[in-house]
């Protein structure tokens, strides 16, 4: 259907240019519609407009990956409603290749991927999904496989031939004498000139403050921390470390706070301890509100219904994917364990998030937000109609402020709409 729409669009463009008597106008029009076609049909200028959503092998499976797992996960993403919710990338992480290059090229491990990567890519695309792969800026990958160091343009061409839509680019074994900014720029240039639109997901773990330069150096997302683990301390530490680094988020480049652990329940490669349902909700809400890519790390084939409901929550996903693509910002922080954030949304609406990460003292769980801190002064004849983003419950209209009870490891995310009194 998409291919047919593209064909019809191009035929329409040629038809208009052919009937134009003014050759100069016809040429200008044609150039314009070609650019418009890229916007409509996902060309280069559309890459990274909103945070990426998808699934990655690493958190659960580590090195234990194969063709069967990838194809089954693609099926599960579609059949279980994740694709309809916006999750579209199936990403193979480290350990997919042979231990050495063959004739200078990366070669998929034939025991794990007997039909090759083009076969896997075609299957994923047949499901209406997109295909992601992994490489590294160091002299080898984190698991010791061949990297793209010194082979950037050759590998980018290879990825394009396989139909890759997304490249995670790690940072292990990077030379001490190397220039990290130039290394990521080099791969960005290679991908931008490989003949295919490929999302560039840089992953240098926050080394050298990438929020200051990754956007300008061609990344669409950039990892800002070390690897996440499946326990509350891990996601809370990442959350706290990135509060001051999300202001640069916006269309074209996003701070990637690492893959989600929601639904892992202590199992898998990074399943160290697990989280409660409430903690998984908090973790997901933090990532969604901060504009991080939402990359599922659990076994997509067997996530519980309760955790699946978190990953498919329409309200939180809509905040993450809001068309205005504005970053969130902190309103206040109390004793280092209670936080309030705001994010402006399309249509004059806004989102308000309150997270209680540690506080167990009962009276401090009642958290007040004054509307003056939201840009709505108390003498303004306006009220705010709040809706719970997670449950969809309408909470009514409020003036001057709102007081909310948030338990330890609790989360409250509201959508606000200003109303005239």
**First-to-last CA distance in the chain?**
48
Is 155 part of the annotated catalytic residue set? no
The string of DSSP codes covering 65-104 is --HHHHHHHHHHHHHTTHHHHT--EEE--S--B-SS-BTT
Catalytic residue among 66, 75, 122, 227: 227
Using CA atoms, how far apart are residues 336 and 340, in angstroms rounded to an integer? 11
Is 227 part of the annotated catalytic residue set? yes
* Secondary structure class of 120 (helix, strand, coil): helix
Structure-token pair, residue 207 = 């080394």
* Secondary structure class of 54 (helix, strand, coil): strand
* Secondary structure class of 135 (helix, strand, coil): strand
Using CA atoms, how far apart are residues 66 and 81, in angstroms rounded to an integer? 23
Using CA atoms, how far apart are residues 98 and 105, in angstroms rounded to an integer? 10
- Mark 173-186 as b/e (b = at least 16 C-beta within 10 Å): ebeeeeebbebbbb
Catalytic residue among 94, 170, 256, 258: 170
Using CA atoms, how far apart are residues 390 and 300, in angstroms rounded to an integer? 21
- How crowded is residue 126: how many other Cβ atoms within 10 Å of its Cβ? 9
Residue 329 in contact with residue 373, Cβ under 8 Å?
no
Location of structure tokens 């220039």: 179
- How crowded is residue 403: how many other Cβ atoms within 10 Å of its Cβ? 10
Location of structure tokens 């996902």: 42
- How crowded is residue 18: how many other Cβ atoms within 10 Å of its Cβ? 9
Residues recognised as catalytic: 170, 227
């Amino acid at each position: 259907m998409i291919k047919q729409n593209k064909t019809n669009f191009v035929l329409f463009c040629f038809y208009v240019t052919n009937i134009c008597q003014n050759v100069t106008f016809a040429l200008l029009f044609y150039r314009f519609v070609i650019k418009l076609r890229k916007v409509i049909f996902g060309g280069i200028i559309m890459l990274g407009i909103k945070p990426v959503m998808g699934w990655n092998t690493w958190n659960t499976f580590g090195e234990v990956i194969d063709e069967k797992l990838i194809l089954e996960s693609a099926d599960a993403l579609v059949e279980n409603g994740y694709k309809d919710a916006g999750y579209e990338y199936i990403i193979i992480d480290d350990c997919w290749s042979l231990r050495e290059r063959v004739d200078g090229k990366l070669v998929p491990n034939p025991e794990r991927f007997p039909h090759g990567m083009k076969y896997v890519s075609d299957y994923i695309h047949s499901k209406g999904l997109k295909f992601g792969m992994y490489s590294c800026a160091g002299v080898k990958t984190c698991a010791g496989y061949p990297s793209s160091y010194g082979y950037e343009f050759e590998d980018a061409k290879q990825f394009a031939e396989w139909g890759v839509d997304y490249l995670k680019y790690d940072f292990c074994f990077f030379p001490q004498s190397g220039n990290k900014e130039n290394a990521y720029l080099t791969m960005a240039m290679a991908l931008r000139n490989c003949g295919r639109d490929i999302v560039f997901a840089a992953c240098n773990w926050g080394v050298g403050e990438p929020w200051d330069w990754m956007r300008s150096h061609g990344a669409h997302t950039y990892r800002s921390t070390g690897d996440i683990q499946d326990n509350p301390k891990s996601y809370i530490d990442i959350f706290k470390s990135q509060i001051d680094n999300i202001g640069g988020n916006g269309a074209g480049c996003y701070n990637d706070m690492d893959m989600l652990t929601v639904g892992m329940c202590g199992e898998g490669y990074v399943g160290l301890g697990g989280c409660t349902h409430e903690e998984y909700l908090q973790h997901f809400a933090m990532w969604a509100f901060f504009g991080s890519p939402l990359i599922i790390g659990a076994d997509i084939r067997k996530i519980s219904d309760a955790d699946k409901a978190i990953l498919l929550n329409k309200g939180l996903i809509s905040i993450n994917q809001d068309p205005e693509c504005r970053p969130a910002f902190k309103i206040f922080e109390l004793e280092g364990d209670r936080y309030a954030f705001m994010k402006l949304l399309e249509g004059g609406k806004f989102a308000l998030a309150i997270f209680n990460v540690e506080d167990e003292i009962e009276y401090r769980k009642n958290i007040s937000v004054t509307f003056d801190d939201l840009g709505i002064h108390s003498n303004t004849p306006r009220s705010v109609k709040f809706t719970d983003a997670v449950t969809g419950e309408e909470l009514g209209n409020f003036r001057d402020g709102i007081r909310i009870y948030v338990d330890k490891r609790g989360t409250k995310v509201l959508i606000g709409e200003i109303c005239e009194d």
